[in-house]
Amino acid sequence: MVLAKQKQVIDIKLVRDKTMGPIAQSSRELSHSNIKLFTAAQQVSPANRALDNRETLREQLRERLPRLLQTTLELEQQLKLCFQELHRALKVDGLEYSHNNENINLSLGRRATHSCSYRLVTERDFNGEICFSRRSRFDEEELQLIESTLGQLAYPLRNALSYRQAVQLALRDPLTGVGNRIAMDNALHHELQVTQRNEQPLSLLLLDLDHFKKINDTFGHSAGDQALKHAADSIRHAIRDIDQVFRFGGEEFVIVLRNSNQECSTMVAERIRARLESMQCQFQGQEIPVTASIGVATYNDKETIRDTLQRADQALYKAKDQGRNRVISLD
């Protein structure tokens, strides 16, 4: 991905510890880049003032960090590289990054007593918030060094966010917003590794919306789409943050339950079934009845994860044969 070269303004608001002295307002241009930093709650000095004994560290950061950031488009790796360089130069103990719109919360190192926080906003994009902390207070020269580093990080970080968004779009079902088949295959591979490494249970639920063709025939395909979206939302609200849901195809969903045995997974499946049955799904003033049949299977080390999914499928068909709107679990 090509880094943008046009001039942009980065609005960075600095929140300082109350014990760090008087505050002032400033706007200063960093000569080494076309990025302007607006800082608040900070006692300032000219940007081009020599950093005395830290000038060598600043030059090292300028030389090393841009090269390192060019090696990856992964957001987590870029932040890790930034943290490592600032830890080496300033003994920074912790870095925290958040982006609420993208549901990102990353923490590196350990949060310490004294901190400085920045909000990164370009003319077009919000690029998140970042906080650095350590056991001793940051002085003015050190804050300038941090801001210089953020200037170097700004464009790579923006590109990493764009890359992350593109990857996520490729792994999402466009209608329901849950993971698609590609994402499911990746997740099953990863979850199996976690299960084997930690020797913990892994269960799969295969869910099918009952009489979905009748919903389409009676209310129309737009109503069917509405039912699928409502069902996906209900499933997500019925499971834990560490669990995952994927659209398997048509009206079928796969739910991956980490560290969940057969008994617990059956209870989760029943909770999902009851939630869907009581769900209020309306389309153009008409109430759409939605129920689901669910098959449950827990992985064992004598089979592949595909075998587990196949057993969940067999349990699902038993649930359908026994009248639908029910949960069947297979050992």
| Per-residue pLDDT reduced to its tens digit, 93-109 | 999 999 998 889 999 99
* Residue 38, pLDDT above cutoff 70: no
Q: Give the pLDDT band (50/70/90) at residue 53.
A: low
Domains assigned to the chain? 11-170 (3.30.450), 181-330 (3.30.70.270)
Are 28 and 37 a contacting pair, CB within 8 Å?
A: yes
DSSP structure string for 205-240:
EEEEETTHHHHHHHH-HHHHHHHHHHHHHHHHHHS-
Are 48 and 32 a contacting pair, CB within 8 Å?
A: no
123 a catalytic residue: no
pLDDT of residue 134: 95
Sort strands 114-121 and 11-12 into parallel, antiparallel or unpaired: antiparallel
- Contacts of residue 88, Cβ cutoff 8 Å, sequence gap at least 6: none
d(CA 184, CA 179): 7
d(CA 270, CA 239): 11
Q: Which of 96, 141, 142, 251 is labelled catalytic?
A: 251
d(CA 331, CA 189): 21
Backbone φ, ψ for residue 239 (5° rounding): -120, 170
Q: Of 251, 249, 186, which is closest to residue 216 (Cα–Cα)? A: 251
| Per-residue pLDDT reduced to its tens digit, 98-157 | 999 888 999 999 999 999 999 988 777 889 999 999 999 998 888 988 988 898 898 899
